[in-house]
Every structure is written in C-alpha cells, then in structure tokens.
Amino acid sequence: MKVNIWSDIRCPFCFVGKKKFEKALAQFPHAAEVEVEWHSFQLDPSLKTREDENFYDYFGKSKGVSRAQTDQMFSHVRNAGKEVDIEFDFENQKVANSLKGHILIQLAKTKNKSSEIEEALFKAQLVEGKNIDDVTVLTEIAETHGITTEELTAALNSDEMAYLVNQDMQMAAKLGINAVPFFVFNDKYGASGAQQPELFLEILEKAWAEYKAGDKGLQIIEGDACDTDGNCN
C-alpha cells in the first residue's frame, strides 16, 4: 500500500506531521508493506532568500502584523512541536527559498533516502537555523547521508530534477492541495495537516482493509497546516 505525502521543508507543521505519521506507522502491523513517497510542495516558490533578515521581522512585514501578534501566532506552532519533541527555533530561522532543498529530496528519492533527507532538511531550517538555500549546507546534509558532492551538483544543475519538483506541485494542484502537510493513503483517503497519531493509525487500518479491493476515491480530513499564504493554523 502506498502513502503519498506533500510537504515543504519550510513548514513547521510538515515536520510535526512527519513525526506523528511515523509514530502511527510504527504501531501499524503491516508497516513493512507500506511504501511512503515524499512529494515536493513550495509554499512560496517566489520567495527570495534573505539570510540576514530576522524571520519574525520578515513574517510581520509580509503579513502586516506586529511582533506581538507574530509571537502569539507561532506559540501554537511551538506547542505542536513540543508534542513530538521538536524545539522550533523561529528566532534564528533563515528566510530561505526551499527549491534547492526539494531538488536534494528528489535526488534522495532515487536512492531510497528521501525520509532521512527530509528529516535533516526540516532540522536544518526549523531547529538549527541553517540556510537551506545554501549549497554548502545542502552538501553537508547530502554527504552525511551518503550522497556525493558530485551527485548533488549534477542534480542542482539538472533541468530534470527541477522538473520533478514542479511535477509534484502540479500534481498537488490537480488534487486541490493548497496546504501542507497533505497525506494520501492508497489513492483513497486524504488527510490534511498534522493529525494525531491515533487518527493516522485509524486511516492506515481502514485503507489497508480496503487495499486488496482496490477501491479508489478521495476523502479529506482537515487539521493543522501551513497554507500557500504563509498562515499556520
């Protein structure tokens, strides 16, 4: 059975959703027979990297809200992270375009290392205050997971890899996905947002029970997510 997941490595709820889904999958008796595929989704493809700009200042200006309002908005996100032992560091988060990171994920998919690379990129962006648009940062992540500098360089200069990122986003658009994380179980059940592990497990069990029958369709369950307007709620 296949589970397709769309996420952006700039999205804190995508990181939370990954942790909660993995907790559910660990409890699922047929986990070994579940294929998970990560898909690229850029919340803001036009974002210009501003490494020296404070993330809160950037967010406040882009949304027209005060620092106090920004702090309040992200308090919920911090609490969601703590549920799964993630300590988000928004104060030191870099304002960075995620395209190059997604190209690295596409490369990692060819080596069955997409989940590990996804995790490392989430940590770099949301916990460690690194610039995921910086080739040096991406090289370090790649090499740590057995991907060579030459392979990464070729991928970053490859029209094919950029096309795969765009193809994932076009597929999301066709499915009506405008907020991430978004999970599709066996091409039948869709779950939007960082659901609790119990709900993910329930969907896994239901999808698995119908898997042999090949039933198709799509039902959407709403939850915490970041949308293309930059709102996390």
232 found inside a domain: no
31 found inside a domain: yes
Which of 46-60, 102-116, 130-144 shows the lowest per-residue confidence on average (mean pLDDT)? 46-60
Q: What is the CATH number of the domain that holds 170?
A: 3.40.30.10
233 found inside a domain: no
CA distance 15 to 232: 13
208 found inside a domain: yes
Write out pLDDT tens, residues 109-128. Answer: 999 999 999 999 999 999 99
* Domain count for the chain: 1
Mean pLDDT for the chain overall:
93
pTM score: 0.90
pLDDT of residue 24: 98
Write out pLDDT tens, residues 62-96. Answer: 889 988 888 888 998 999 999 999 999 999 999 99
122 found inside a domain: yes
15 found inside a domain: yes
222: domain range?
2-227
pLDDT over 80 at 48, yes or no = yes
Unique residue bearing structure tokens 């978004």:
182
Structural contact between residues 132 and 96, judged by C-beta atoms closer than 8 angstroms: yes
